[in-house]
Each structure stands twice: as structure tokens, then as C-alpha cells.
Structure 1
Amino acid sequence: MSERTAPRTAPLRARAEIDLAALRANVRALRAHAPGAALMAVVKSEAYGHGAVPCARAAVAAGADWLGTATPEEALALRAAGLPGRIMCWLWTPGGPWREAIEADVDVSVSGMWALREVTAAARRADRPARVQLKADTGLGRGGCQPGEDWAELVREALRAEADGLLRVTGLWSHFACADEPGHPSIAAQLGSFREMVAYAEEQGVRPEVRHIANSPATLTLPESHFDLVRTGIATYGISPSPELGTPADFGLRPVMTLSASLALVKHVPGGHGVSYGHRYVTPGETTLGLVPLGYADGIPRHASSAGPVLVEGKWRTIAGRVAMDQFVVDLGGDEPPPGAEAVLFGPGDRGEPTAEDWAQAAGTIAYEIVTRIGTRVPRVYVNDEEDG
């Protein structure tokens, strides 16, 4: 096992351990779920809180063909770190760094005419063609071009710019709204719309390198949606995109992040003792309390007050009272672990610890949010960063 983190002179208050061997294994498992398609590992939002550059490198080492980001700044940071190969970004606003992306050989997504005008102008300034992927809104109602006249105009003008040597249409793509809800009628409707919009573009002369719509849940459960490329986000990090679809183990995946902290204080208190702001928890009898030095400033959801699970010395504890900005309390029930003892908030579950999904249930949210929101005050510690053998 190898480990990398910033130099330190004292034990860590808390740490998010990132198991890169698990990430590599997840990429290989996901490729097996879509053997006929290339795979894009999505590393947006600092790889869902895991750290974009180390995770991108691990994903590429395991066979990811593409890397995906939301913002151009994320894509450019990957290039600056030396990541090779295909990188795509899709969340653009007017005045974005189009020229920089073109010069960095990043595939950019275009959903409307304003973006096509800006990318072609940037291509003229850069004196090289842009790699452009046209996004279709097949029913998500978010980014993407509407079918019908809007799509026809976008395709026509993109082909005109391609003929002028200003861009290359490298992809046609879309995104599901409800792929994590098996049997939802929108899934078939979106697939049908995507096929029609792709067929129209290809009839007009578009020759894309890749056509893609499948996200993590579709990669795992909808082989008919795989086309040329699948985009795996949360599944790359070993988290099931929906409990309804199955657990990570059901899909051959392993959670990559383990979040833990060192107890800052253990103390005896009498019964009837109020705990944390608002005294929403009052000790039912004489007990011991443990102070965990993580709070909502670190990404611990305040909605998990009086509900979030923590493993301390082999036992599940529950947050006692409200989560504060920097800390929360667990009732240890009279047990007396020493200060500095490990409190594990979530991990793969191997040691009986809670998982990110357990925290999602406690906070009334999704596991995506649990891992992504862990803040920068929590150091990422990378283990198993070298390939086995």
C-alpha cells in the first residue's frame, strides 16, 4: 500500500481516504458492463469529491477512454496536470474560455446557436478547428437543443462551420432524466427521441466519432442505450446510482472513499444533560459523550442531526443533537474510547462501518451529495496509487 498526502507535523483531525485500487477495479467492472462501447470516467466536481487529478489518472490507467468534466476550467486543469487523451466538458456560459479549450484539444458541448457562434469565433482566433459535440434535449429539459427546428438549425450551421474548417462535429449526445428509476416511461421516450435526432443529423451529413446518452444507471441496466460511449460518474467511485437498482456489490463495485476523524474529547455527563445547539438531544441517563471534529463546514449534512451513523470501536453510534459548523457529538453509552480513537463516518462497509448510502438515508438525500460535499478542510489521502503487480 502506498499513501500520498500533504506533509504534516501532527495527526490528522480527519481524513478522506481514497482507495485508487478500488477506483481502477470499478472502471474495469464498468467496462465489462458495456463491452461494446468506449467508457468516459466523469471527474467533474473534483471527481465527486474524491480529487480530480489522482482519480483521472487512475481511471485512465484502468482503461477509461475519455474523461468528462462539467466546466471548461475543470477540463483545462486536467490538461495542465498532464492528462492525455480525450477530454470533454459540457457546462458553458457566454464568454467562456473557448479558445483555451480548443488549443488544449478539449471536446466542447454545444446546445444552442449562441454557443456555436462563440466556438466558431474562437476557432478563427486559434486558427485551428474546434472539437464540438452537439447536445440534444431528448426530455431532460436541462441543457441540450430542442428537437425540431432548433435542432435542424443547429445541425445545419454546425455542418456549415465544419465545411469552413472551423470545427469537427465529434459527437452527438444527450442525458437521461430517470434512468435510475427502472421502468420509467421517459426512458424509452428519450431513447426514441435520441435515435431520431441522431438519425436526422447523420442524414444531413454529420459523421460523429461517438454517440452517447448512457449515464451510470443506464450503463448498468440499459444495454440498448450504450451506443458508442458510456459516461460513468458516481459508479466510478463505487456508489450505486440508485438503491432500487442494486447495491455496489450487486454491480461488482466498491466504494472508494472512507471518511473518518479522531475523537477530540470523551467525557462523562449526567442524565438530563443537553447536547449541542437547541438541546434537541438530552441524555436519558448517565453516559459518555464523544466529540467528533467534523461539521457542516466540512460537508457533514446538518439534516443528519440526531440521525447520522458513526462507527466507534466497533459499534454504530448516532449523532446526538445538532451538527454544528465544525463538530458533532455522539452518545457512547458509557463506553470510554480514548481521545484520538477513530470515528468512521462512512466507507465500503467492510468493518461494519456505515456507507455513504446510509448517510444519504439519514439526511434525506442521495449518496452523490454525501461524497461530493466533503469540503477542502478534510485532506484527501490516496492509497493504493500504484497498479498491483
Structure 2
Amino acid sequence: MRRSQAGEEQGAVGVVDLRAEAVVDLAAFRSNIERLRAAAPTSQLMVVVKADAYGHGAATCAREARAAGVPWLGTALPGEALALRADGDRGRLLTWLHSPGQDFAPLVAAEVDISVGARWALDGVVATGGPARVHLKVDTGLGRGGASREDWPALVAAARRAERDGVVRVVGIWSHLSCADDPTCDCTARQIAAFEEACAVARAAGLDPELRHLANSAATLLTPAAHYDLVRPGLAAYGLSPAPAVATAAGFGLRPALTLRARLSAVKHVPAGHTVSYGHATATRRPTALGLVPLGYADGVPRGAGRSAEVSVGGRRVGILGPVAMDQFVVDLTGLDASAGDEVVLFGPGADGEPTAEDWARAAGTIGYEIVTRLGSRLARRYTAESATGWSGCSG
């Protein structure tokens, strides 16, 4: 992708796509970073930019985070980390999702910190000849990656041997929380206790890592006991609530950074009984004005939200009729003076009454994480330094 002076990400052919755009408010992103920094003032801050920065554009958000003084970035996949290096990022960077057979040499050469949660991963890192920076991961109760309590002592001992051999440097010990978004659950306290035990085992084996890290977005905002030396917020950095049952984004002092909007590509009037979209399961109950929105599930709009989600047209919320198709969906514009070309806001900060990503999550029976991360590659991003107003065509 290349960037125009207007701050748009453009495809190789530079074709202007006037149908839709995702506008990312970088001022909101910076504000969220400051809010998270204030929530954990004694810890270093990592901003997680996996999954294309939760749909916001990894390269741009990484640069913006660095400009805001963020010392650490985090990615899930090795390719995500190497792409940031190729874009010029030279700061501290951790990647953590690997599979047996992974070639760790490019990560070591690029000075990317590598998570190690199993013996095969440590062996793979050692095979590069190093020197490699590793973060040992322990499973404290999530049941996903990380060494089990039974396997942890052997992994720690092997890592210490590799450290003495000068092949690796154990930079960190870390784990991930399962229910930090529910402060009424005692599972976070149990995980903290398990993490403390794992750190004690590592110390007893002779390891002295500079960092211990456990807190995700929710724990950064809700659980100071989990902050340790580094916190790793992801979703909250982009202004969505990581614990909507506890507080909204505004309640946490966060500002949603992404607004997804499109232009109506058609407006037509149909009689009562006219079927809408696939399956003939939806029919108009009265003479109805239909508006066609040129976005669909190929762009990341949840198909299952079709009959319950709303969009904003002319400052008024209107409902979707029928299922969302691959490239488009239909809305009920009855009573509105709307025309082809008018703006449709699918979701945004909510300050002007438009739906939010959390509203769409409820409509789709999912979580806000999925709504923003599923935005497809056909949808270009445009970046502003303050809350987005007006319309600009974007590049596909």
C-alpha cells in the first residue's frame, strides 16, 4: 500500500473507491494511549497491533504509537512482526503465535522478541544460533498457549541452559488472562497466584528477566495487581470497551477511533409485499423506500446482524431489511428524504447518535473485537488527526 498526502492508504493501481471508507481518528488513538498509560503509570506499555491493529491498519497505528512514545508493540503472527520491521519499525516488538516447524531465524535476525511456551519452540529458537530474546509463556488457567504447571520447570531449566550458552536471553515471563473483563470472578486472582508461582520457579532456576507481564486491556483498566512490569492493551487502545458489562468506552475514558461509512448506491420505492434480499424471507409490510448500501460480509459486515443491526442515514437510525449479502445490504428509508450518494454510517464513536461497534456486536451476538477485526482488505482506511467530519473518497 502507498499513502497519499490526504492520509489515505491506496492500492497499487490507485483506483478511487467512492462506495465506502473506514476513517481512523488518530487523535482518538493517541488519547486512548494516554488513558492506558495513566491507568498503569508504573508499568511499561505495549500496544498490541495484531490483526491489522484490530482492523485499524497496523503500519499506521504502529507508527502513531511509536510517535506517542510507546516502547513496545505486540503481534500474534511472525509475519505481522516482520511486516512492521519491513515498514521501518525498530522498537521493541514481541510476537507469540507459532507452530512446530516455524523458522525463527528471520525473527532473530530482525531483533523481534519471541514468545516460547513449549520445548519445541525453545529448541527452534536455539537452532538459529541466536542471540535471541525470548519471553517464556506459562499457562496460568486460560488453557491455550504456554507451558503447563507440570511442564514449566523443565522449560525454565532448558531456557536457563540456553541462556548460559549465550544463545538466548530470557527477557520476560508472561501469561494471558481468561476473564479479566469480569471483576466479580475470582479466576483472575487465581491466575495472578499461579503467575507468581511460575515466576518464583524461574527465579529459583537462575532466571532474572527484566519483564513480567500479564495484563490485557481489561486488566490494565480494572486490575492493578496484574500490571507488573508491562501491560499489553489491545482493543482498548482503539477505543472500544474491553469489558462492556462493566462500563462503556466513554465510561472507561476511551474514544472509539474507527468510523465505518458508505454511500447509498441506490434508493427505490416498492409496494407492500415486495421481497428483499436472498431467500424471500423478508417482505415489506407497507410501501417502502429501500436504500442499497454497497458493503457486505466480504467487507466484514456480519451477515448474522442483518435483521437486527441499524445504521445511521441523515442522522437517523434505520434498520436493515433481509440478510446481508457478500457485497451489499438493504435498509428501510421510509420517511426519510434520502438519495443515492447520501452518507450511511454503520458505526462510529456514537457521539452523534450513530450506532457503535458494540451495538453491532450485540446485534450479531458477538463481541466488539470481532466487529472491527473482521473488516476486509477491500476496505481502505483513511486517517485523520481529529474526529472525522465530512466525506472523502478512499482508495481500494
Equivalent in the alignment of 2:63: 57
Mark the CA change 1:265 to 1:121 in structure 2 (over 3 Å): closer, same or farther: same
CA apart distance, 1:321: 0.9
Contact 2:8 2:380 in 1 (8 A): no
Identify the residue that residue 10 of structure 2 maps to in structure 1.
Answer: 6
**TM alignment of 1:331-370, pairs within 5 A:** 331-370=332-371
Match of 1:190, SS state, is helix
Aligned-residue offset at 1:11: 5.3
Partner secondary structure for residue 193 of structure 1: helix
CA distance in 1, matches of 2:184, 2:120: 36
What does the per-residue CA deviation read over 1:268-320, in whole Å, with 9 as the maximum and x for residues that have no partner? 11111111112222111112100000111111111101111100011101111
Q: 5+ unaligned residues in a row in structure 1: which ranges?
A: none
The separation in 2 between residues aligned to 1:188 and 1:339, in whole angstroms, is 55
TM-score by length of 2: 0.94
**SS of 2:370 mapped into structure 1:** helix
Aligned 1:199-348 pairs, distance under 5 A: 199-348=200-349
Q: For the Cα contact (< 8 Å) 1:266–1:336, is it kept in 2?
A: no
State the 1:138 CA deviation.
Answer: 0.3
CA contact (8 A) 1:281 1:306 kept: no
Is the CA contact 1:262–1:340 (under 8 Å) kept in the aligned structure 2?
Answer: yes
Q: CA deviation at 1:9?
A: 5.8
**TM-superposition CA deviations, 1:30-73 (whole Å, max 9, x none):** 00000000000000010011110100111111121100000111
Tell me, what secondary structure is at the counterpart of 2:372? helix
Match for residue 389 of structure 2? none
Measure how far apart 1:327 and its partner are.
0.6
Report how far residue 334 of structure 1 moved.
3.5
Pairwise CA distance, 1:184: 1.1
- Displacement of 1:249 in angstroms is 1.0
Q: Is the 8 A contact 1:24 1:61 kept in 2?
A: no
Partner of 1:196: 197
Structure 1 residue 18 corresponds to structure 2 residue 19: no
1:177-234 Cα offsets, whole Å, 9 max, x none, are 1111122121111010000100110122111111000000000000010000000000
Task: Pick which of 275-284 and 206-215 moved more.
Answer: 275-284
| CA distance 1:67–1:297, shift in 2 (3 Å) | same
Partner of 2:145: 143
Q: Which amino acid aligns with 1:54?
A: T
Q: Match for 1:146: what amino acid?
A: S
Letter of the 1:140 counterpart = L
Whether the 8 Å CA contact 1:310–1:353 is kept in 2: the answer is yes
What number of residue pairs does the alignment pair up?
380
Select between 361-370 and 88-97 the one with higher mean Cα deviation: 88-97
Stretch moving more, 100-109 or 1-10 = 1-10
Which of 131, 134, 137 is 2:136 aligned to? 134
Q: Deviations over 1:121-146 (max 9, x none)?
A: 01x2xxx4100110000000000001
Q: Which moved more, 1:13-22 or 1:1-10?
A: 1-10
Counterpart of 1:78 in structure 2 is 84
Identity of aligned residues (%): 56
Q: Which residue of 2 aligns with 1:87?
A: 93
- TM-fit CA distance, 1:251: 1.5
Q: TM-score, normalised by structure 1?
A: 0.95
Question: In the alignment, what sits opposite 2:124?
Answer: 118
Query: Match for 1:13: what amino acid?
Result: R
List 4+ stretches of structure 1 deviating above 4 A.
Answer: 7-11
Q: Is the contact made by 1:2 and 1:384 (CA closer than 8 Å) also made in structure 2?
A: no
> What amino acid sits opposite 1:17 in the alignment?
V
Aligned to 1:157: 158
**Which residue identity lines up with residue 136 of structure 2 in the other structure?**
L
- SS of the equivalent of 2:215 reads coil
Between 1:325-334 and 1:132-141, the stretch displaced more is 325-334
What letter matches 2:77 in structure 1? T
Match of 1:28 in 2: 34
Secondary structure at the residue paired with 2:46? strand
Q: 2: distance between equivalents of 1:98 and 1:273?
A: 58
Stretches of structure 2 lacking an aligned partner (at least 5 in a row):
387-396
The structural deviation recorded for 1:372 is 0.4
Compare 84-93 and 328-337 and name the one that shifted more: 328-337
Q: Which amino acid aligns with 1:102?
A: V
SS of match in other structure, 1:289: strand
Secondary structure at 1:213's aligned position in 2? strand
- Matched with 1:69 is 75
Aligned-pair CA distance for 1:94: 1.7
C-alpha distance in 1, partners of 2:272/2:56?
41
Q: Which moved more, 1:7-16 or 1:156-165?
A: 7-16
The 1:11/1:46 distance shift into structure 2, 3 A limit, reads closer
SS in 2 for 1:116: helix
